Structure 1
Amino acid sequence: MKHLRRPARRALLVVHVSVSVAWLGLSLGLLTLGITAYTTQDPTLTEAAYRVMKVFADWLLAPVALPTLGSGLVLSLGTPWGLARHRWVWIKFWITLATAAATVFALRPEITHAAASGVPDSSLVAAPVVSTSAYLFMTAISVLKPWGLTRRGRRLREAARSGKAVDAPAPLRRA
C-alpha cells in the first residue's frame, strides 16, 4: 500500500486515537455497570444496570470497535510502521482483532441475555476487566513501542539498505 500523505495520516490518527479512547471509556462504563449489577442487593438496580449495558452494547460497541480496528489497519499499512514490521504493531493488531470479535460475538449476546433475565452475572464483570486491561496494555505499547522489528521487518530493512526488493514478485522463468 502506498504511504498516506501527511494530512490524511494525521486525520486518520486523530480518528484512531478518538475511537480507541472511546472504546476504553465504554469498557470502563460497562465495568462500572457490571460491578453495580453484580454487587447490589436491589433487583431493580441490577435490571436497570443490565438494561443500560444493553443500550451501550446495541448502539456503541460495534460502532466503536470496528472503526478502531479499521483505522489502525489503514494507519499501519499506510505508514512506515507497517503491519508486520514492528512487534508492537503486530501485537496490537491481533489484540484489537480478538477484542473486537469478542465484543461483537460474545459480549453483546451475553449482555442481551443478562438484560432479559435480570440475574447477576459475574462474566459481565470479568469481560470488561479483561477488555480494559487489553486496551490499557495496547495504549502502553503504543507509547513505548517495545520489542523491535519482526523477522519481516529486519528483512525489509536489510533489503532497503542493500537496494534489493524483498516484496517484489519473482522474475518469470522461461522454459
Structure 2
Amino acid sequence: MSEAAAAHTSRRQVAHSSAPFLGPKLRKTVLVVHVLAGGTWIGVDVIVAVLVLVGRFSNSPGTAGLAYHALGTFALIPMLTSGLTCLGTGLLLGWGTRWGLVRYRWVLVKLVITVVLCVLIVAALAPGMPEVVAHGEALAAGAGSTADMSNLFFPPAVSLVSLSFATVLAVFKPWGKVRRRG
C-alpha cells in the first residue's frame, strides 16, 4: 500500500470514528421509541391530572378516594419508565446522530428538561405517594382525611408544560449551535 493510500485510509478511519454511529434504520427505530415514550409520558401526565382533579373536585368521597388511591398506586412506574426511556433514547440519538448532545441549544435544553423532570419524579413526587394512597383509602372507607393534596396540582402542570415545550423544540429546532469557548 502506498503512503498516499495509507494516509487516505487513516483519514477516513478518523473521520468515521467521530461520525454518528447510528445507521438510518437503527436511528429511525430509536427515534420511534423516543417519540412513543414522549407521547406515553404526556399521556401519563394527562391521566395524573385527571386523577388529581377527580380526587379534588368529586362530590363522592368514594370516587375521590379511588382517584387518589389509583394515583398513588399506579402513576409513578409508567411515568418514570417513559421518562427514563425518553432520556435513554435521547442520549442515544444525541450521541449517534449529527445533532449531538451539546452541539445544538435545543437538544441541550431538551436534555436538561428530561433530566430535571426525571429527578423530580424520584425526589419530589415519589416520596409523597404513600400519603396519597393512605388519603385515598381513608376517603374510600368513609373515614375522611385531613391530608392536604393541593400540592398534587403542580406535578402534572409543570410536566405537561415542560414536555410540550420540549416537543416544540424538537419540531422547530430553534437557536442554532452552542458556541464553543476558546
Question: With structure 2 as the length reference, what TM-score do the two structures score?
Answer: 0.78
Q: Which residue of 2 aligns with 1:123?
A: 151
Q: Which residue of 2 aligns with 1:159?
A: none
Aligned with 1:150: secondary structure? coil
| Shift of residue 109, structure 1, vs aligned partner | 2.2
What count of residue pairs does the alignment treat as equivalent? 154
Residue type matched to 1:82 in 2? G
Q: Which residue of 2 aligns with 1:144?
A: 172
Q: Which residue of 2 aligns with 1:67?
A: 85
Q: Which of structure 1's runs of 4+ aligned residues deviate more than 3 A?
A: none
How many Å separate the matches in 1 of 2:175 and 2:76? 37
Q: Which residue of 1 aligns with 2:97?
A: 79
Q: Is the 8 A contact 2:31 2:93 kept in 1?
A: yes
| Shift of residue 148, structure 1, vs aligned partner | 1.0
Q: Which residue of 2 aligns with 1:46?
A: 64
Q: Residue 23 of structure 1: which of 3, 19, 41 is its match?
A: 41
Q: Which has the larger radius of gyration?
A: 2
Over 3 Å counting, the alpha-carbon distance change for 1:2 and 1:52 in structure 2 is farther
Over aligned residue pairs, what C-alpha RMSD do you find?
Answer: 1.8
| Shift of residue 44, structure 1, vs aligned partner | 1.7
How many Å separate the matches in 2 of 1:33 and 1:105? 21
Aligned with 2:75: secondary structure? helix
Unaligned 5+ segments in structure 2 are 1-17, 137-146
Q: Is the 8 A contact 2:52 2:153 kept in 1?
A: yes
How many Å separate the matches in 2 of 1:58 and 1:143? 28
Percent identity between the two aligned chains = 35
Higher mean C-alpha displacement, 26-35 vs 98-107 = 98-107
Higher mean C-alpha displacement, 70-79 vs 48-57 = 48-57
Give CA deviations for 1:109-135 in whole Å, capped at 9, x if unaligned: 223321112345111111101101111
Unaligned 5+ segments in structure 1 are 156-165, 167-175
Q: Residue 115 of structure 2: which of 91, 97, 100 is its match?
A: 97
